[in-house]
Chain A
């Protein structure tokens, strides 16, 4: 953990400095991650050759997985591969090159409900899920597949009587979130400094961001909320838009530290939707709540004696953020699945015959490229839609109804 603490201290520091330092921050990030791999794999197998080789380049590489990775011998499993890419993980699997597994182990943080204590260790201790550590392991099957469960001592069996530990691990998606946040902070704070120092015409980074900021302000927020109150919601909506947009784009980057399916994770979209929900509820004025309780323009028998409309309206309050959550999650996940599916086709056919694989690859790649372009569009559209709908909900909550009904 201390390694990561130091890492993030190093990373967060440059945020306060000028833009010159962000390159250094990225360098520290990559260096830290590469070095971070070292000890994890040193402990990996107890293989003397690897433990005795201290050179990082050698240590990153670790061999001898055939026995562990039994499933790899069973051939290519598209479903498993896609699921692995879509889901969150306790380690960041970068690539397999022959017998070399490039993985960034991440810290596991658990709240053990039985013992009432916080447990944290490196996910490398699980050895890609093949070993247990301190009584915990990664479940391979069953209803808790992919989760960290308690094991019966001395076995690799789940202890069904023990409560599931609450998993607060710093997972792949968490790292993805932090990477995107660092990018956001560096980019926008440096842009803000430029704005403060040079109030003239925009230049460089500013001229890229400014049209987007103005687009959000003039075409999304002001028309939805109105000139009078829009400034209160600008920070949230701007952050929301750029967070989603950046993570959508980073999700399309296949190389580390991109590729984490952040906005295609339901927990992430849920938090975003919850923010919108909470802000909407707290900014709701009297008219907004009255509209829910006593919707105007509706026949009275829909409200009394059975409060049908209020129930419908109340459900609507919750379905709005729910739909926000699902829409973003489903769009991004579906895009990833389709693209990975196209790529998988190459390997599926390649296993039948090498020539077939090459043949299919032409079509697959063509389709993937098409999908990639489409996903770039979707990345923007989904960020736009989420922001627009959030703005509309805020607008509805703060709208001052003229008593025309």
Chain B
């Protein structure tokens, strides 16, 4: 019977002891332990979140970088293309200009050569003319060296005049 009849003394001591341990542990053990556990879980959670976020950011950054790189490449290509175009244009222009200049020079040269040639020809003609005149003069001088010859010429000329 004693086995199943709770004794008042033990009930008293047990209530006291359990109440005491509940209070002390509740205040000095469970509170800090549960708090620490919660905080740790929170910090682990936060760390995981942060890692996720960082990964996302990394991805974003990488994406951005790639985009930037692609853009830069594109731009470079554009610039290069433009530069090439410009260069070609410049080359073309300069070639055209050079050609033109060359042509112009050539033309000028040709003209001056022509002029020179013409001048030379004129000179030559003039000289030839004066030479011819001189020769003619000399021949005339020779032919008309004496009077008979002069006479004869006059007669000839006279004859011609008559014919006229």
Residue in A166, A200, A267 whose Cβ sees the most chain B Cβ within 10 Å? A267
- Cα A236 to Cα B21 with chains together (Å): 10
| Closest Cβ–Cβ distance, residue B43 to chain A (whole Å) | 8
Whether a CB of chain B sits under 8 angstroms from the CB of A171 is yes
| Closest Cβ–Cβ distance, residue A46 to chain B (whole Å) | 29
User: In the bound complex, do residue A177 and residue B14 qualify as a contact, i.e. CB atoms below 8 Å apart?
Assistant: yes
- Cα A142 to Cα B29 with chains together (Å): 46
User: In the bound complex, do residue B3 and residue A271 qualify as a contact, i.e. CB atoms below 8 Å apart?
Assistant: no
Comparing B30-38, B78-86, B115-123, B143-151, the segment that makes contact with chain A is B30-38
Whether a CB of chain A sits under 8 angstroms from the CB of B161 is no
Which chain A positions have C-beta within 8 A of B8?
166-168
A-B pairs with beta carbons under 8 Å apart, 30 shown? A167-B7, A168-B13, A171-B9, A174-B9, A174-B13, A177-B14, A177-B18, A188-B33, A189-B24, A191-B33, A192-B28, A192-B29, A192-B33, A199-B36, A199-B39, A210-B37, A234-B34, A238-B25, A239-B18, A239-B21, A239-B22, A239-B30, A266-B4, A267-B6, A267-B14, A268-B10, A271-B14, A271-B15, A275-B22, A333-B3
- Cα A199 to Cα B35 with chains together (Å): 10
- Cα A15 to Cα B62 with chains together (Å): 57
Whether a CB of chain A sits under 8 angstroms from the CB of B48 is no
Residue-wise, chain A 225-246 has the 8 Å CB interface mask toward B (1 for contact) of 0000001001110110001000
CB-contacts of A178-225 with B (<8 A): 178, 181, 184-185, 188-189, 191-193, 195-196, 199-200, 210, 213-214, 217
Which chain B positions have C-beta within 8 A of A167?
7-9
Residue in A83, A178, A195, A272 whose Cβ sees the most chain B Cβ within 10 Å? A195
CB-contacts of B122-153 with A (<8 A): none
Which chain A positions have C-beta within 8 A of B32?
192-193, 195-196
CB-contacts of A71-123 with B (<8 A): 83, 86-88, 109
Which chain A positions have C-beta within 8 A of B39?
199
User: In the bound complex, do residue B10 and residue A173 qualify as a contact, i.e. CB atoms below 8 Å apart?
Assistant: yes
- Cα A184 to Cα B25 with chains together (Å): 8
Q: Contact check: which of A86, A166, A177, A200 meets B3 at CB < 8 Å? A: A86
User: In the bound complex, do residue B13 and residue A185 qualify as a contact, i.e. CB atoms below 8 Å apart?
Assistant: no
Q: Contact check: which of A109, A145, A185 meets B21 at CB < 8 Å? A: A185
Interface residues of chain B, those whose CB is within 8 Å of chain A, are: 1-15, 17-18, 20-22, 24-26, 28-37, 39-40, 43
Residue in B2, B8, B10, B17 whose Cβ sees the most chain A Cβ within 10 Å? B10
Residue in B15, B33, B36, B43 whose Cβ sees the most chain A Cβ within 10 Å? B33
Q: Which A residue sits closest to B20, measured CB to CB?
A: A181
| Closest Cβ–Cβ distance, residue B132 to chain A (whole Å) | 128
User: In the bound complex, do residue B30 and residue A238 qualify as a contact, i.e. CB atoms below 8 Å apart?
Assistant: yes
| Closest Cβ–Cβ distance, residue A221 to chain B (whole Å) | 11
Q: Contact check: which of A147, A189, A199, A214 meets B29 at CB < 8 Å? A: A189
Which chain B positions have C-beta within 8 A of A268?
10, 14
Whether a CB of chain B sits under 8 angstroms from the CB of A146 is yes
- Cα A259 to Cα B75 with chains together (Å): 87
User: In the bound complex, do residue A195 and residue B33 qualify as a contact, i.e. CB atoms below 8 Å apart?
Assistant: yes
Which chain A positions have C-beta within 8 A of B18?
177, 239, 243, 271-272, 275
| Closest Cβ–Cβ distance, residue B5 to chain A (whole Å) | 7
Beyond the given A188-B33, A267-B11, please list 10 additional residue pairs across the A-B interface where CB-CB is below 8 A: A88-B7, A88-B10, A171-B9, A185-B21, A191-B33, A192-B33, A195-B33, A243-B18, A268-B10, A270-B11
Which chain A positions have C-beta within 8 A of B6?
265-267, 270
| Closest Cβ–Cβ distance, residue A316 to chain B (whole Å) | 22
Q: Which B residue sits closest to A182, measured CB to CB?
A: B21
- Cα A88 to Cα B25 with chains together (Å): 26
Which chain B positions have C-beta within 8 A of A177?
13-14, 17-18
- Cα A83 to Cα B3 with chains together (Å): 8
Q: Contact check: which of A166, A171, A173, A185 meets B25 at CB < 8 Å? A: A185
| Closest Cβ–Cβ distance, residue A223 to chain B (whole Å) | 17
- Cα A369 to Cα B72 with chains together (Å): 80
Which chain B positions have C-beta within 8 A of A146?
2
Which chain A positions have C-beta within 8 A of B37?
195, 210, 213-214, 217
Which chain A positions have C-beta within 8 A of B24?
15, 185, 189
